[in-house]
């Protein structure tokens, strides 16, 4: 180990006295593929919230509903209020200048702008 | 907070009694750990783990929290980036969680065989039981912790501020964290989780949105726009607009206030070294070299020419000598004499003489012309022209006549040249016009098939009057028809001859009057303009949708090219907390959530709603944006009845209050009654954890 690294003291020691089982024994090297942690979606699925009364608060039912207000349209590029939509790229834009720049964007740019508001075409 | 200094290992771990709880605020962004009863956490670090491979030794090491990126040169980070134990705001990756806890306890100074202290750790609202039990399992079995308690960070923060007198026992906690935002109503000092409300949007989304917007706005500086830097920019410059629409309109108009609100981030930029203009000596030296080269070429050409002249002269002399000898030779001996020389007849020799003389003359003339060109002042050659005859000697008179002759011929030549040049130009212009007319014609033919019926093309009936162009065409057609076979056929030797066909073809005459009056008018105006200004070119083919793309000219990069301007982005990015629709998340924003939460309250009446809205507390890292309180107040005022009391306050320290509240809670005596002991874990198991709920008031 380089002196600089040791001096900065950034590494976690491999042996810690207060642990019942050291990390290297608990998660032996080379078995990383076998370990899988349930993602949040899978955890929630396994919680079986449907078996409990709906009045009990749980992780799923405390979530906010969709907004009651009509969603406002904003220009994807500048953030101004956008009265127009480009039919070719489906980007929203505020004025002619923005439109000009939209038309000069490469497709990758357009898709990235669309994905900002979750509207990009996703090919699976 | 880039590369916060590494926390140093605490040395007073053994001074604490084993009943003294350790308090952990396990936030998505920062992990804070400390002792109960203290005012601040001992250790705070980023809740992140990186497991790179050490390059020199090849072993995989574990780095928790922030660190100096300069040290990363010793590590191979290609296969491991920063990893978090959280999915949303729920802990799911317990391997990473274990590394983080390891680091936390290690920095606290733990050195016994186990961590022999009760633990109070924060979790999200309505944490799934699986996550909670796994964490309990880790703490009991991994570290030998005697007992554990779980609480909600936002509630601790509210309770702490209630003790400080910032908010009342009935109220609303608005907590905006890294991944999620919560609204938790409080009645009688207890959180009402039935009525709470979560939107999956937080500071992470704001930073990500800002980063994406900036990297799309400045694609050239993509590499400079790192996550850490954008986070700094967000904390430094972003604010919440009181009314997004009117604020953005200010920027759209380009008002002066808007310009003052722009912030500029100057990227490191070194001006390129200015190119010095070449010095006088350099220019002179280059010119001299050029001159020298030109001189050499000229000399070579002159030498070549003179050698050719002498050669021709020699040949001529030889031929003349031959002719001379031929005169002396007898008639009979002529053939034999000629056979020796290689010529067949005297005639041939004479023709050879003529040929050689001609080429000799040509070579000499060339030389003269070159000399003329080299002579810059034309007038010097004609020195005698302007002198009256009577002042000159006979020889000079002769000379003068010669000069006059040369001058007139050369001037004539010049004039002819000029004329040819002009004709060429005219012809080109004519060609262009024809081309354009033909194109126009073709378009029209393609476009208007239906108009064919009313015959307006070149065909002219008998007795109708012809205009000049039509007359000319008829003349050409007749001459072409009757000239055939007469005399020598030289047609086609000159380029102009081929123009004839264009004149003859129907396309040439303006036959489209009446078809499209506008077009005719345009053509008339164009021709008139061309009369006035011969260089005028009608741009009829450029339509309204054809944009003229200007070729960007190369220009040196300046300081301005390395600036990143934050304008609308400053309040556009935090705006997603209030309008999650902007980034495609279909959930209510923060102000609307407050209304939903109040609606969800199970026990209403007794003016509890008014009391709640009169004590709204903002906590969590994303509540640090300036203008947040005003905006929340305005938004909540919209959804509450007229003249409802509304009071929005910011927590005394939105970031640290959760830990402080937890520490204060753990210090109180009844804390030990609410913990979940190892005994309980082994006896009651997971299901008990489901019903486990902390009571926050004593």
Residue B50, φ and ψ in degrees, nearest 5 = -130, 135
Convert the pLDDT of each residue in B400-414 to its tens digit.
Answer: 788 788 878 888 888
Q: Which CATH superfamily is domain B13-47+84-166+655-691 in?
A: ATPase, nucleotide binding domain (3.30.420.40)
Q: Flag if A80 and B144 touch (Cβ within 8 Å).
A: no
Would you call A107 an interface residue with chain B, using a CB distance cutoff of 8 Å? no
Provide the terminal-to-terminal Cα distance of chain B, rounded to the nearest Å: 37
Taking alpha carbons only, the member of B273, B253, B271, B269 closest to residue B261 is B253
Least confident of A76-80, B29-33, B512-516: B512-516
pLDDT of residue B579: 93
Q: Is residue A105 within 8 Å of A90, Cβ to Cβ? A: no
Q: How far apart are CA A84 and CA A94, in angstroms?
A: 6
More confident call, B268 vs B330:
B268
Return the exposure string of B423-452: e unless at least 16 CB atoms fall within 10 Å of the residue's CB, then b: eeeeeeeeeeebeebeebeeeeeeeeeebe
Identify which of B71, B568, B583 has the shortest CB distance to residue A5. B71
| B106 to chain A, closest Cα gap in Å | 8
Return the exposure string of B393-405: e unless at least 16 CB atoms fall within 10 Å of the residue's CB, then b: eeeeeeebeeeee
The DSSP code for A72 is: P
Q: Flag if B98 and A16 touch (Cβ within 8 Å).
A: no
Bridge partners for B191 per DSSP: B186
Give chain B positions within 8 Å (CB) of A113: 216
Alpha-carbon dihedral sign for residues A9, A10, A14, A17: positive
Share the mean pLDDT of chain B. 83
Q: How far apart are CA B3 and CA B626, in angstroms?
A: 24
Interface test with A, best of B76, B82, B102, B258 (most A CBs within 10 A): B102
Does B662 score more than 80 pLDDT?
yes
Dihedral over alpha carbons B319, B325, B330, B334 (to 10 degrees): -20
Taking alpha carbons only, the member of A53, A95, A64 closest to residue B197 is A64
Give chain B positions within 8 Å (CB) of A57: 125-126, 193-194, 196
| B108 to chain A, closest Cα gap in Å | 12
User: Which band of pLDDT confidence, cut at 50, 70 and 90, is reported for residue B334?
Assistant: confident
Bridge partners for B76 per DSSP: B53
Q: How far apart are CA B627 and CA B240, in angstroms?
A: 5
ipTM topping 0.95: no
Q: Flag if A62 and B99 touch (Cβ within 8 Å).
A: no
User: Which band of pLDDT confidence, cut at 50, 70 and 90, is reported for residue A97?
Assistant: very high
pLDDT > 70 fraction of chain B, expressed in percent and rounded: 85
pLDDT of residue B121: 94
Interface test with B, best of A12, A60, A105, A119 (most B CBs within 10 A): A12
Q: Is residue A99 within 8 Å of A86, Cβ to Cβ? A: yes
pLDDT of residue B548: 53
Angle, in degrees to the nearest 10, between helices B94-108 and B129-137: 50
Does B436 score more than 80 pLDDT?
no
More confident call, B68 vs B289:
B289
Q: How far apart are CA B92 and CA B85, in angstroms?
A: 6
Give chain A positions within 8 Å (CB) of B197: 62-64
Alpha-carbon dihedral sign for residues B77, B78, B82, B83: negative
Does B529 score more than 80 pLDDT?
yes
Does B512 score more than 50 pLDDT?
no
Does A30 score more than 80 pLDDT?
no
Interface test with B, best of A8, A10, A41 (most B CBs within 10 A): A10
pLDDT of residue B456: 44
pLDDT of residue B460: 47
Which residue from B minimizes the CA distance to A44? B128
* Cα radius of gyration rounded to whole Å, chain B: 50
Bridge partners for B41 per DSSP: none
Least confident of B285-299, B353-367, B553-567, B664-678: B553-567
Does B326 score more than 60 pLDDT?
yes
Convert the pLDDT of each residue in B178-213 to its tens digit.
Answer: 999 999 999 988 999 999 999 999 999 999 999 999
Does B536 score more than 80 pLDDT?
no
User: Which band of pLDDT confidence, cut at 50, 70 and 90, is reported for residue B499?
Assistant: confident
Q: Mean pLDDT: which of A67-76, B274-283, B468-477 is highest? A: A67-76
User: Which band of pLDDT confidence, cut at 50, 70 and 90, is reported for residue B553?
Assistant: low
The DSSP code for B696 is: -
pLDDT of residue B31: 94
Identify which of A79, A103, A116 has the shortest CB distance to residue B583. A116
Identify which of A11, A47, A68 has the shortest CB distance to residue B129. A47
Mean pLDDT on B498-515: 61
Convert the pLDDT of each residue in B574-611 to its tens digit.
Answer: 999 999 999 999 999 999 999 999 999 887 777 888 89
Q: Is residue B185 within 8 Å of B628, Cβ to Cβ? A: no
Would you call B210 an interface residue with chain A, using a CB distance cutoff of 8 Å? no
| B439 to chain A, closest Cα gap in Å | 29
Q: Is B53 helix (H, G, I), strand (E, B) or coil?
A: strand
Sequence-distant (6+) residues with CB within 8 A of B317 are none
Does B173 score more than 50 pLDDT?
yes
pLDDT of residue B434: 79
Does B671 score more than 60 pLDDT?
yes
Does A100 score more than 80 pLDDT?
yes
Q: Flag if B547 and A55 touch (Cβ within 8 Å).
A: no
Strands (E), B382-536: none
CA separation (Å) from B614 to B167, B169, B173, B225, B635?
9, 11, 12, 42, 14
CA separation (Å) from B515 to A14, B446, B449, B451, B455?
92, 14, 12, 8, 10
pLDDT of residue B448: 43
Convert the pLDDT of each residue in B89-109 to its tens digit.
Answer: 999 999 999 999 999 999 998
pLDDT of residue B12: 87
Bridge partners for B25 per DSSP: B32
Sequence-distant (6+) residues with CB within 8 A of B308 are B363
Mean pLDDT on B310-330: 85
Pairing of strands B147-152, B22-26: unpaired
User: Which band of pLDDT confidence, cut at 50, 70 and 90, is reported for residue B542?
Assistant: very low
Q: Is residue A110 within 8 Å of A103, Cβ to Cβ? A: no
Q: How far apart are CA B439 and CA B297, in angstroms?
A: 49
Identify which of A44, A62, A68 has the shortest CB distance to residue B592. A68
Least confident of A78-82, A100-104, B459-463: B459-463
Q: Which CATH superfamily is domain B203-265+565-647 in?
A: ATPase, substrate binding domain, subdomain 4 (3.90.640.10)
What residue segments make up the domains of chain B, in order of their start?
Answer: 13-47+84-166+655-691, 203-265+565-647, 285-374, 388-425
Which residue from B minimizes the CA distance to A6? B71
3-state SS of B225-246? Answer: CCHHHHHHHHHHHCCCCCCHHH
Q: Mean pLDDT: which of A33-47, B217-231, B541-555 is highest? A: B217-231
Which A-chain residues 2-61 have CB contacts (< 8 A) with chain B?
2, 4-5, 8-13, 16-21, 23, 26-27, 29, 35, 37-40, 43-44, 46-47, 55-59
Would you call B132 an interface residue with chain A, using a CB distance cutoff of 8 Å? no
Identify which of A17, A18, A64 has the shortest CB distance to residue B199. A64
Which B-chain residues 329-388 have CB contacts (< 8 A) with chain A?
none
More confident call, B293 vs B340:
B293
What residue segments make up the domains of chain A, in order of their start?
Answer: 71-124
Q: Is B677 helix (H, G, I), strand (E, B) or coil?
A: strand
Least confident of B39-48, B56-65, B143-152, B567-576: B56-65
Taking alpha carbons only, the member of B13, B147, B32, B8 closest to residue B653 is B32
pLDDT of residue B125: 92
pLDDT of residue B450: 41
Share the mean pLDDT of chain A. 87
Show the tokens assigned to B208: 């990500």
Does B513 score more than 50 pLDDT?
no
Convert the pLDDT of each residue in B421-435 to its tens digit.
Answer: 888 888 888 888 877
Q: How far apart are CA B298 and CA B388, in angstroms?
A: 39
Q: How far apart are CA B64 and CA B85, in angstroms?
A: 12
Sequence-distant (6+) residues with CB within 8 A of A2 are B56, B74
Does B452 score more than 50 pLDDT?
no
More confident call, B222 vs B389:
B222
Give chain A positions within 8 Å (CB) of B88: 40
CA separation (Å) from B596 to A68, B445, B620, B636?
10, 68, 20, 11
Would you call B180 an interface residue with chain A, using a CB distance cutoff of 8 Å? no
Mean pLDDT on A83-96: 92
Q: Is B49 helix (H, G, I), strand (E, B) or coil?
A: strand
Q: Flag if A17 and B115 touch (Cβ within 8 Å).
A: no
Q: How far apart are CA B655 and CA B235, in angstroms?
A: 13
Mean pLDDT on B478-502: 70
Would you call B64 an interface residue with chain A, using a CB distance cutoff of 8 Å? yes
Give chain B positions within 8 Å (CB) of A62: 125-126, 193, 196-198
User: Which band of pLDDT confidence, cut at 50, 70 and 90, is reported for residue B552?
Assistant: low
More confident call, A46 vs B471:
A46
pLDDT of residue B656: 93
Q: Mean pLDDT: which of A16-20, B335-339, B588-592 is highest? A: B588-592
Which residue from B minimizes the CA distance to A37? B93
Which residue from A minimizes the CA distance to B217? A77
Q: Is residue B658 within 8 Å of B153, Cβ to Cβ? A: yes
pLDDT of residue B449: 45
pLDDT of residue B380: 53
Taking alpha carbons only, the member of B306, B301, B311 closest to residue B356 is B311
Does B171 score more than 90 pLDDT?
yes
């Amino acid at each position: 180990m380089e002196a600089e690294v040791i001096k900065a003291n950034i590494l976690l020691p491999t042996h810690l006295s207060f642990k019942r089982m050291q990390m290297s024994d608990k998660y032996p090297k080379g078995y990383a593929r076998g370990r899988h942690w349930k993602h949040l979606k899978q955890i929630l699925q396994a919680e079986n919230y449907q078996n409990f009364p709906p009045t009990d608060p749980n992780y799923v039912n405390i979530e906010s509903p969709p907004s009651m207000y009509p969603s406002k349209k904003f220009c994807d590029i500048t953030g101004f209020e956008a009265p127009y939509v480009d039919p070719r790229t489906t980007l929203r834009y505020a004025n002619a200048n923005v439109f000009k720049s939209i038309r000069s964007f490469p497709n990758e740019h357009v898709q990235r702008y669309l994905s900002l508001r979750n509207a990009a075409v996703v090919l699976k | 907070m880039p590369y916060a200094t590494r926390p140093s290992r605490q040395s007073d771990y053994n001074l604490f009694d084993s009943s003294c709880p350790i308090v952990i605020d396990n936030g998505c962004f920062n992990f804070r750990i400390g002792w109960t009863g203290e005012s601040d956490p001992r250790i705070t670090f980023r809740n992140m783990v990186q497991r790179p491979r050490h390059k020199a030794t090849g072993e995989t090491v574990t780095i928790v929290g922030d660190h100096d990126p300069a040290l990363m040169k010793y590590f191979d980070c290609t296969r491991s980036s920063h990893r978090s134990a959280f999915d949303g705001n729920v802990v799911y990756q317990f391997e990473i969680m274990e590394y983080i806890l390891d680091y936390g306890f290690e920095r606290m100074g733990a050195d016994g065989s186990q961590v022999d202290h009760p633990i109070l750790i924060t979790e999200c609202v309505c944490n799934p039981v699986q996550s909670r039990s796994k964490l309990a399992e880790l703490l009991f079995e991994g570290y030998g912790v005697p007992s554990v308690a779980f609480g909600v960070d936002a509630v601790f923060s509210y309770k702490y501020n209630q003790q400080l007198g910032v908010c009342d026992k009935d109220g609303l906690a608005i907590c905006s964290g890294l991944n999620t935002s919560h609204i938790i109503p409080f009645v009688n000092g207890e959180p009402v989780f039935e009525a709470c409300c979560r939107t999956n949007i937080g500071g992470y989304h704001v930073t990500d949105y800002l980063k994406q917007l900036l990297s799309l706005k400045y694609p050239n500086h993509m590499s400079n726009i790192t996550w850490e830097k954008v986070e700094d920019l967000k904390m430094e410059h972003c604010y919440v607009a009181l009314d997004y629409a009117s604020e953005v309109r200010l920027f759209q108009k380009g008002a002066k206030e808007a310009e003052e609100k722009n912030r500029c981030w100057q990227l490191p930029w070194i001006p390129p070294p200015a190119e010095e203009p070449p010095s006088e000596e350099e220019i002179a030296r280059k010119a001299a070299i050029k001159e020298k080269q030109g001189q050499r070429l000229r000399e070579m050409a002159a030498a070549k020419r003179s050698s050719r002249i002498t050669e021709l002269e020699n040949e001529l002399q030889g031929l003349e000598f031959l002719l001379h000898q031929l005169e002396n030779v007898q008639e009979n001996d002529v053939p034999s004499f000629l056979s020796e020389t290689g010529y067949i007849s005297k005639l041939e020799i004479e023709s050879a003489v003529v040929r050689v003389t001609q080429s000799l003359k040509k070579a000499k003339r060339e030389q003269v012309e070159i000399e003329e060109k080299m002579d810059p002042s034309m007038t010097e050659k004609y020195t005698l022209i302007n002198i009256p005859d009577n002042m000159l000697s006979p020889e000079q008179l002769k000379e003068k006549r010669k000069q006059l002759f040369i001058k007139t011929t050369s001037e004539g030549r010049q004039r002819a040249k000029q004329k040819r040049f002009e004709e060429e130009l005219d012809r080109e212009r004519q060609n262009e016009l024809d081309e354009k007319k033909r194109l126009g014609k073709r378009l029209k033919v393609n476009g208007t098939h239906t108009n064919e019926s009313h015959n307006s093309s070149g065909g002219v009936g008998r007795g109708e009057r012809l205009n000049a162009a039509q007359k000319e065409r008829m003349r050409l057609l007749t001459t072409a028809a009757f000239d055939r076979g007469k005399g020598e056929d030289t047609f086609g030797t000159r380029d102009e001859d081929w123009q004839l066909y264009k004149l003859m073809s129907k396309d040439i005459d303006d036959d489209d009057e009446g078809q499209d009056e506008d077009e005719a008018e345009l053509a008339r105006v164009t021709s008139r303009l061309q009369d006035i200004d011969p260089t005028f070119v009608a741009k009829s083919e450029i339509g309204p949708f054809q944009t003229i793309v200007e070729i960007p000219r190369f220009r040196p990069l300046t300081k301005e090219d390395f600036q990143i301007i934050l304008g609308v982005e400053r309040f556009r990015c935090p705006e997603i907390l209030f309008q999650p629709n902007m980034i495609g998340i279909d959930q209510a924003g923060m102000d609307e959530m407050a209304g939903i939460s109040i609606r969800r309250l199970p026990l209403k009446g007794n003016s509890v709603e008014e009391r709640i809205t009169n004590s709204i507390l903002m906590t969590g890292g994303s509540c640090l944006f300036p203008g947040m309180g005003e905006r929340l107040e305005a938004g909540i005022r919209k959804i509450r009845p007229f003249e409802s009391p509304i009071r929005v306050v910011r927590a005394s320290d939105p970031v640290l209050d959760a830990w402080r509240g937890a520490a204060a809670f753990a210090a109180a005596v009844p804390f030990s009654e609410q913990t979940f002991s190892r005994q309980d874990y082994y006896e009651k198991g997971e299901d008990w954890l489901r019903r486990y709920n902390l009571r926050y008031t004593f």
